[in-house]
Structure 1
């Protein structure tokens, strides 16, 4: 029978194994890009029009678009094609060729701590590309894209103004007119994109709205100590949330039919997403082009009679992984905050963490409070664990005597041990079960702290000015390692094997080294958890000693 100390070791190893599994899931290898650098690909590449087999398998619309007067698109659009829009949340650049969003700054999120430069989500440079495209089949084609006109080059949400409309217009030679209107809202990272179509021709026009995100596949992703996902994701009526990595795109093109749904590009803390109509039957597709991954959707076909008008719309989100804001756009879009298989535990823990922060106005203090709450809520399990360990330690002399008595006769040894456990009213698994019950809660809290964008650049006290990065002076990891060593010294041990003793002695050192690169918010959580365990352990053993003295 393994000692209770061995069971603790098994618990630690199981936690490490589960975390390793999550790391593997989050850090899928990036595919090697087709080219090491962008070579000025055309914007019309991989648009959702599939008269050729491929490009997502999307049917072509028979309405033909005239050749665009616009020149071939280069990687960097000329300044006279760019429209800049500034609100309280966003600074967005729109290319009038196709009306694509080619740049977006998140004004509330500095690029680095104490930086005046905002975090850039979408961008188009000579080396990287991350853009949000949308259009109408039959008007946007691989051969030509509409060159919209804009009334002005700059728009700004004025004080007291709640909505800012940015209209772009385009007219074909046959009389079909399209107004592409971007509606920005105060206090929101979402943008309503409307296509207002007037069929001024003499024939019916059939078209489909499409929207897609395209991003350079090569780039930074998560690390072992910061296991984050960078790539695409989508939702369908059958699958609430599915990641579709750049490697998946390279291996196989996505082609899903669904009612509603959404498509997105994810990175740590931030997301861009297109959300179509919830009642529409949409087609979700993917493609790759010139080292870029593409995920998009195609809305159902709409026929516009001669002389008639029609409005088609979608929503573009560019911002943090704000669960409340995302859920307003789609019932499942908040799942981009990926807590893995323990999401049912992580969601209430995130709510509790946010509640504490609203009370103490400090995310570090909120982490301390939620750790106290969780450890306090599991006190009965902790007491059962330590009580069982203490009882097993007191039985160690009797166990040693049984081993000497029965030698290598394991069957008789096991029978004698079980009789002794029954007589002494000791459950040999009593110290293991509480650990196994607690582990899912602690792992879920780990992912809450890792995934919560609110911790990005959130200060604590003194030298900890960003809870989402490692402690610059490694003070917290060292304190955590010291608390783990103290907790180990206080714990009763029944280990007699010298090799096992050495392994246990090195556990605090191993964990300290591992935690040197962990985000300080996570290290703070483990440190406080250890301190609470030490206090609980001391109190439980003291109460047991008092009871024995009275007896």
Structure 2
């Protein structure tokens, strides 16, 4: 009925057994142990991408956990409306609720398929999916510390095969199976602890608290108790699976943490680029930081050096031109007073001006320099 699961699992196991059997020999227990371990790694490698999506989905759900709590509190008496709002919130944040469950759902068929295939190895079996009679015999004869890989402490025959007489407790398996059960249980606990430590306390709910207790204590205890019914090969699969999960969690979580740190550093860098440098005034229209003086409008050319007058630059320029023109006219008039006029000649040592020694310049009388000196000399005489 579940051949679509059994055949792929059997094929992967057969491939790896051929690889390691070429190195160590087909009947060597190491070939079968490594085949089971690398079957686990192959399946988990296929599920690596869904696992990364699971971690990202859980991280997003933790980020908007306060919004989830608000919805749960607001629609506490309306479960249907609460579910609708939750789905709407998940769509807005791009979270797939099945993304966190997909890796676990994919591991369950592999666990069931491997359990069935390993239990189907027993003496006298002619074929076991991809394994022929020789492959079945090789697995049955492979022993680790004198214990067959298909044996369990409490061997319950599920196949109805010739080993039905061996159903019951097999104490000879305890020295090998019991340490594997304990190590697998402890590995399950530490894997769950590493995952729970990543959770955001602000996103804790009653459901997450229950799930944390299950993964931290109930599941490891289940492995310890029900491991007595697992074949040695299945205990090896469980141990390899937890070892892979713990390593994968560390790698993926480290990568995601680095991505978040890079994003935060990029945001800080953008803000620092937008902010003015130390000692630099902020640009006009830019909101100053706390404790920083706001930017002032630059002064116009007309206000520079003459803010009290209130005149614009154009008016001051016109005033300067008028003053300069007046000074130039006055200089020309003064120069003309010292030169000979049209109706008179200047005598030696002085100048004569028609109508007197005085020249009028813009209403102001000026005395020629030469005549002024002669007049002063006459008065002294």
Return the TM-score normalized by structure 1: 0.35
More strand by share: 1
More helix by share: 2
Larger Rg: 2
